[in-house]
Chains A and B, each alone.
Chain A
Amino acid sequence: MTGRAGKVDRAGFSEIMTDEQVVGLVQAGETRHFAQLVRRHQDAVFGMAQRFTGNAGDAQDVAQEVFLRAYRSLDGFKGEARFSTWLYRICYNLCVDWARKRRRPGAKSLPIEEAAEIADSRENPEHAYIASEDRARVREAVEGLEERYRSVIMLLYYQRFSYERIAEILEIPLKTVETRLYRARKKLREAMRNIL
């Protein structure tokens, strides 16, 4: 997520602006420009929501709430962190809250078939219909991890965030991210020993 785009839309709004510049417009009362921010970050937010909630319906509700909450709190955004980091932090916190309140014990985060349907067939067409047994087992093992380990694994592998970005989103030191990843993967390897 670079927070940038390279074309000009029909409304004549320059999409070359950074997220922070667009935020400035919205803060000045130009609400319509918030759509630009939603457009840029919808996949990351929705993806994160779906990984945590386990189904597209709940993910849409959570993702929508993330953007709505971001809009409501936009006046409080001072630009100390990148907008995307701030937004993903809201998303992560809402996902964790959602999981704590509503997730059924033993529920899977994402059914394979559903994941395959939603997968980006434009970028990875071969991935769209791959439903390997191993992947299901891996997903199940990730599901079994404690929250603090599961979140770093999800953010690193499913959301493709860097270690540094994960540290920013979770507001923990980089060293803690490394430690959690080390322990998470160790637990996963133990769980997956039979199939890998």
Chain B
Amino acid sequence: MADLLLEIGCEELPAGYIRPALEQWAGLVRAALDEARLGCAGVKTAGTPRRLAVFAAGVREAQHDALVEVTGPPARAAFDAQGSPTKAALGFARTHGVEPSALSVKKTPKGEYCVVQKEVKGRPAADVLAEALPRTITSIRFPKSMHWVTGSGVTFARPFRTLLALLGSRVIEFEINGVRSGRATAGHPFLSPGLIELPDASFDGYLDLLRAHRVVADIPARREIIARKIGERLAAHGSKLTEMELLDEVTNLVEFPNIVEGAFDEKFLALPQAVLEESMKSHQRYFPVHDAAGRMLPRFITVINRDDGCAAVIREGNQRVLRARLADAEFFLHEDTRRPLAGRLEQLKGVTFQAQLGSYYDKVQRLKALAEALAAQAGLPPAQAALCVRAAELCKNDLVTAMVGEFPRLQGIIGREYAVRDGEDAEVAAAIAEHYAPRTADDALPATITGSVLSIAEKFDTIAGCFSVGLAPTGSQDPYALRRAAQGIIRILMEGRAAVSLAAAVAEAAMLQPRGLPQAEGVQERILAFLRDRLYNYLTDKGYRYDQVNAVLAAGFDDVRDVRERLEAVASLAAEPGWEDLVTVVQRTFNIIRNSDVAGDVDEGLLCEPQERELWAILKAHEGAVRELAAARKYRAASELFARAFVASVHEFFERVFVNVDDAALRRNRLALMKRINSLYTERIADLSQIVIAEGP
């Protein structure tokens, strides 16, 4: 047994690539060892921006001899009618150095094949691994990878310059992209430049040697050092480390972690907090510093890749960088707030939303009208509706501020900050930021009613406009992120605080678009079909069965919360006894009418058989009650009543009455009766004819 140590020494890898790459590589090495019949007792990993390392303990130094089964030609090609080996079989035996008598036949899923059991001599691990290891390296996948050697097909996240491969004290020799494997690795590029050699494949030895050369290769250890150092600094200010995502990122930005605390001028605290955070965290990877009460302090902490001894110089440099960024932001704030946010509307005329859909000014005019209409639909009081219209009027104005030009991700948030400074209603200000929400599938929804209305107005407008000019999503193409917009509408209506009719909202949004757009014809139907698909995805993602979702959507989807209620009723009924009987009623009544054009209503005078008169009586007795329960959205109760009324009676009817009689009037009348029973359920609750009943064992 020996240990195996591998390291890829590369130019700086993106921080987010390191952990996933190590996980993959460890898995690939383990699989390669198993496949090579060398095995291992366990794997460990280490990594920095400049190296990925995998260690495997207890690897066999040579393969055991083994019997390997090799598959040859199909049996019918290998043996003739008499069972004698054919030319093909003799050739196969010769290739593998066995007598034809050693061939046998094996059944496989693809048919019968000629096989041979072959003794394979075990080879030294170093030889096997020299062949197997390069593939583990070139099989690591990154979100983005690159070529760097002319004519080579090998790609990696960044160029690698050294490869270390030791089995015990021996080098496993191979070459990839002109780099030969060896026993050398690099220390810290500035604090301990040059290559260092490892005597053998000890993991602790590797970590210790690197530590001596100013590299902490163990990721959890590095993270812990940074967390402790930052924690100590924050404790002095009364706060704790909470930025865990940033901590993970900076852990993989350095090899020899240290921190520096810097300060900035207190006057910059007057900047919107989002601007300060964006400047520090996403631009510079600095940790903001708060006091015990959560107030931001004019300080920051940055992680460095150097000794403490350099801290003073590095602090000064970083302070200068942040000062420049914040001075820039202060300049923007000063310029932007020389006039109120509301005064920027005219400027939006110069900003095109989409060539055929006009400028953002045009869009804002549409949003005002649409927000007002949706507020009315949602039954909001006039004062609330007025807030929606005001928020619509202001919501795009921050697009022409210098601050959003500089910090595009803060669109909406800057609008909110400026609205607050202008003394706009707090809910209007909040809605300006919220109208972009939800930005992702799991992003928070608008918290205010005004923000909810404006958010769905904005999304309906974009969808209606884009569909009208032929920008509907196709396949992977969705440049205006309309699927995400539709998902946002559904989430807000389903989980949020506003309720509107999809059809009415689509009609209103489509009506507000400019005249004469190329694909305006039939656009409402196409949008509703698109929304139906998104609703289907939303509900199946929530774990509902696809057939139940389809059944419920078939009975209408104008009110998405009503869809959810009907679906919940159907899903709960489906888990109970009696479900199949209910489905059967709907399916049988559906099957009998599906190919007939049933016109007119039931003519009582034509009901002649006792079972059909009985069924008619039951229908008349319960139809009203089922309708009322459904209208009151008591879908379980409606379903139960429907089932009580019709399970036995419909069954009895089909047992005794023949529907498709020759007498046209009688036939039509019976079909009309079936249709009425069927529609009573399918039009208002769910079209259960779409339900797939799993076959029993």
Whether both chains belong to one complex is answered with no
